Chains A and B, each alone.
Chain A
């Protein structure tokens, strides 16, 4: 394994969140009765013609701007010809030679802690196309049924360069892309419903070799877990093949989630000749500078821009800034918490959102949108830590109380449950004296050089204070007394 390098490129089909289809006026909503959302154009009746939905173009422009790509002034729709029952026209309208989006990149943050690193994945292109319908192979007495509701749904096919070197990087890319398309509102990202699906082109080569190995394409991966499992299996399979002296043949494969294996769908020899040519029913798509400017004006702040702002304005680490901008919901929650808690508390705000709140939500399988603790409540809590009203440990109690609806604000919980920190030096000193007198053994051990004994003493004082003594003051006073 160590002498092999993995090379991965990903093609993603993102279903665009338009109300109607890309070349007809039929609705795109998911889950309707079969064939109730297919009009004459979707059914490819004789004589019908496609008309481009400009909202789908808006989505492509948004995406292009969000990844720093070139939005092509002129792009061309082409016909990809093949026969299949769920492809009503016998061709799919797509883009071939001149796609609407060219280039661009996505920045990834991979791994955690010391092993964390950044990576820039370049994109080749993104193009507009229509989805096919669905073949239904069950419940038709041995025949197949065709549902054309999905036929003509707009897709943006996003093609990356072969820049990823591990399944971990591939998943990080897919997640970042998934977050981005949802962030800019062009795709609902629903992977179960097929709104966001990936094909992975995988090859291996000996480390140090310049040219790529022969790739195999794994089709239609609709979860991040399957993406990872499929790539891991495929990589191992390819390495085994090569090590056993066989050559990899270019092929398209399918991943079976039940067995965790990939199996061949068709070889290069079986590959279709799609006979692409410019669709004479559609004029070239010309996008003016005004159109781009209009879409640019409607774009929200992008994750990359927000990340920079978090680092520069709020003093967050690159890791925190990336994690917080992984989704628009999380970033918005964080921002509105900071707005109340104050910029000076940005770092604790980040920790609470990313660690404590995230863990609590995760435990109950809830989404951030239905967090019982509001941003104002969390900000109030963080402010009480900052002004020493409560310690971090007590804060966790207060947080739990807020989660359970035991108070409207942190202050209310602190008051009601008497959790206010003891900061009166006299009171703490009295407790310290009491503990020192009662624990002569620990005191002796500490004086003999055992630092552990000191912690035991701190614990005794905190216990006597029911956790409410200011920990710093307890430390300082103990040190002073033991030194004296």
Chain B
């Protein structure tokens, strides 16, 4: 049962082969057993989870259940959930219990009847690519516990990879769903900006943040996205579009699919074994009837620098509310008001968060704004235009998700720039606001490799189709790490 797909779980629940309470308990037991090693969850509350499961069982019995009612899921600790401690991986919010539900949580709990197993560990305020910046300690990769799971949604990735949960939510600002999915052998989807409501999702960089599913397969992701997506009047950047069934095109044949291969993604800077796995995956697609065409994203080398201006700028302002006045951490001893602010923020934030706040404040300050922030916005437009041009020649773009497999704990922690380069292939997608996925496509040195799929705006259903057909033909996504059974 722990390896079952969401569809299989749904059928088992409907057929009363298992109750939601039993299923939930099954996963809670695994969390209890394996989480001390992995540190994937920062908060687990069996009492609440089992209560939700019992309510789901009642819905199933009453015949009012939806497709995912009663299925347990892990929530990235960036989503506010009423009655749950919501920390965002920070000491600043280590004691914060949310009085309200994020829209995504509301949709999952109140509408879909999913059962939350707990809140997953993450890089502090989603700033990181290894999950090492969390106040609650690093998450370990189930494929090799000496290695990082990726970040920032590393807790969600490790939880699903080790089957502590059948699926999880993640958020992706510069690759935070796709990169950990790649490093943990999961399927993860970052939707088009505006498809999933950001209300209640603690903001890192508002113009880039987007929530999405992380699961074992494209089919699971499609079912989860069906519950997560949709217009929300409480998020002004949410897009008012007709509801769609993201699973509708899963089985569509791929004959005639045109795959664009950006030459910039196939040059230097990527591990050779990773590249070999990616090329093998593309060859598999050709067998499935797709053709490839070389495309160019000439400004993609500017995506990391532009991102590290825009994201910190927005973050420096978004994180101003954590001031010790109304909630969250406040320094125990302080003199005047300024001293309270300084001590609270100096003690409450970790080093990486402080680094980004300082970068952000700097690029927005008087005299530097034009040279940094405005210039970065111009680059952002150029990058988006590159994709528009590329999509004139192809249906989807493919390449590696990450230039390397999971690296060792501490390996890049001392070198921020090396760390930032782990997102070199994913960041442009956020800057352009496009949907992107990572799909398991093989192994290098025994560690998972992810294939990145990038679609045109609102092409989620197509991306899921492209990923699903590949998963019908391959079994990479079904491989499980040893030692966490």
Where the two chains meet, the residues of A that have a C-beta atom closer than 8 Å to any C-beta of B are 40, 43-52, 79, 81, 83, 85, 88-91, 146, 273, 275-277, 280-283
| Contact indicator B314/A280 (Cβ below 8 Å) | yes
| Contact indicator B102/A275 (Cβ below 8 Å) | no
| Contact indicator B321/A275 (Cβ below 8 Å) | no
Please tell me which one of the listed residues A45, A79, A146, A276 contacts residue B98 in the complex, with CB atoms under 8 A apart.
A45
**Any chain A CB within 8 A of the CB of B207?**
yes
Assuming the contacts A280-B207, A281-B237, asked whether A46 and B96 have C-beta atoms less than 8 A apart, the reply is: yes
When distances are taken between beta carbons in the complex, the residues of chain A under 8 Å from B86 are 46
When distances are taken between beta carbons in the complex, the residues of chain A under 8 Å from B100 are 40, 45
Inter-chain CA distance A48–B197, complex, in Å, is: 11
Inter-chain CA distance A90–B322, complex, in Å, is: 8
Inter-chain CA distance A199–B341, complex, in Å, is: 29
Inter-chain CA distance A273–B233, complex, in Å, is: 33
| Contact indicator A45/B80 (Cβ below 8 Å) | yes
**21 A-B contact pairs sorted by A residue (CB < 8 Å):** A43-B326, A44-B326, A45-B98, A45-B100, A45-B327, A46-B98, A46-B322, A47-B102, A47-B201, A48-B200, A49-B198, A49-B236, A81-B320, A85-B323, A90-B317, A90-B320, A91-B317, A91-B320, A275-B317, A275-B364, A277-B313
When distances are taken between beta carbons in the complex, the residues of chain B under 8 Å from A275 are 316-317, 361, 364-366, 369
Using a Cβ–Cβ cut-off of 8 Å, how many residues does chain B contribute to the interface with A?
Answer: 44
**Any chain A CB within 8 A of the CB of B234?**
yes
Inter-chain CA distance A276–B202, complex, in Å, is: 21
B86: nearest chain-A partner, CB-CB:
A46
Chain A residues touching B, majority SS: loop
Assuming the contacts A91-B317, A146-B325, asked whether A50 and B236 have C-beta atoms less than 8 A apart, the reply is: yes
Inter-chain CA distance A53–B435, complex, in Å, is: 30
Inter-chain CA distance A79–B360, complex, in Å, is: 13
**Any chain A CB within 8 A of the CB of B206?**
yes
When distances are taken between beta carbons in the complex, the residues of chain B under 8 Å from A81 are 316-317, 320, 364
| Contact indicator A280/B206 (Cβ below 8 Å) | yes
Inter-chain CA distance A85–B336, complex, in Å, is: 12
When distances are taken between beta carbons in the complex, the residues of chain B under 8 Å from A282 are 236-237
Return B316 CB to nearest CB of chain A, in Å.
Answer: 8
Inter-chain CA distance A392–B202, complex, in Å, is: 75
A50: nearest chain-B partner, CB-CB:
B236
9 shortest interchain CB distances as A-B pairs: A90-B320, A275-B364, A280-B207, A280-B206, A47-B200, A44-B321, A46-B202, A47-B80, A47-B202
Inter-chain CA distance A90–B206, complex, in Å, is: 15
| Contact indicator A283/B321 (Cβ below 8 Å) | no
A281: nearest chain-B partner, CB-CB:
B206
**Any chain A CB within 8 A of the CB of B165?**
no
Please tell me which one of the listed residues A79, A276, A277, A281 contacts residue B236 in the complex, with CB atoms under 8 A apart.
A281
B235: nearest chain-A partner, CB-CB:
A49
* 0/1 interface trace, chain B 84-106, chain A, CB 8 Å (1 if under): 00101000010010111010000
When distances are taken between beta carbons in the complex, the residues of chain A under 8 Å from B80 are 45-47
When distances are taken between beta carbons in the complex, the residues of chain A under 8 Å from B322 are 46
| Contact indicator A283/B199 (Cβ below 8 Å) | no
When distances are taken between beta carbons in the complex, the residues of chain B under 8 Å from A277 are 313, 317, 364, 369, 373
Return A274 CB to nearest CB of chain B, in Å.
Answer: 8
When distances are taken between beta carbons in the complex, the residues of chain B under 8 Å from A90 are 317, 319-321, 323
When distances are taken between beta carbons in the complex, the residues of chain B under 8 Å from A46 are 80, 86, 88, 93, 96, 98, 202, 321-322
| Contact indicator B236/A40 (Cβ below 8 Å) | no
**Any chain A CB within 8 A of the CB of B417?**
no
Inter-chain CA distance A282–B237, complex, in Å, is: 7
Inter-chain CA distance A366–B236, complex, in Å, is: 47
Assuming the contacts A44-B321, A48-B199, A51-B234, asked whether A85 and B364 have C-beta atoms less than 8 A apart, the reply is: no
Inter-chain CA distance A336–B203, complex, in Å, is: 57
Of the candidates B80, B207, B323, the one having the most CB atoms from chain A within 10 angstroms of its own CB is: B323
B208: nearest chain-A partner, CB-CB:
A280
Return A438 CB to nearest CB of chain B, in Å.
Answer: 88
| Contact indicator A89/B236 (Cβ below 8 Å) | no
8 more A-B contacts (CB under 8 A) besides A46-B80, A277-B317? A45-B100, A46-B322, A47-B198, A91-B320, A146-B326, A273-B366, A280-B205, A283-B236
Inter-chain CA distance A88–B320, complex, in Å, is: 9
When distances are taken between beta carbons in the complex, the residues of chain B under 8 Å from A44 are 321, 326
Inter-chain CA distance A277–B96, complex, in Å, is: 29
When distances are taken between beta carbons in the complex, the residues of chain A under 8 Å from B98 are 45-47
B327: nearest chain-A partner, CB-CB:
A45
**Any chain A CB within 8 A of the CB of B15?**
no
Return B38 CB to nearest CB of chain A, in Å.
Answer: 25
| Contact indicator A47/B317 (Cβ below 8 Å) | no
When distances are taken between beta carbons in the complex, the residues of chain A under 8 Å from B365 are 273, 275
Return B247 CB to nearest CB of chain A, in Å.
Answer: 28
**Any chain A CB within 8 A of the CB of B62?**
no
When distances are taken between beta carbons in the complex, the residues of chain B under 8 Å from A273 are 365-366
**Any chain A CB within 8 A of the CB of B371?**
no
B232: nearest chain-A partner, CB-CB:
A49
* 0/1 interface trace, chain B 179-217, chain A, CB 8 Å (1 if under): 000000000000000000011111101110000000000
A51: nearest chain-B partner, CB-CB:
B236
**Any chain A CB within 8 A of the CB of B337?**
yes
Inter-chain CA distance A49–B198, complex, in Å, is: 8
When distances are taken between beta carbons in the complex, the residues of chain A under 8 Å from B207 are 280
| Contact indicator B233/A51 (Cβ below 8 Å) | yes
B96: nearest chain-A partner, CB-CB:
A46
Assuming the contacts A40-B100, A277-B317, A283-B237, asked whether A47 and B326 have C-beta atoms less than 8 A apart, the reply is: no
Inter-chain CA distance A44–B373, complex, in Å, is: 25
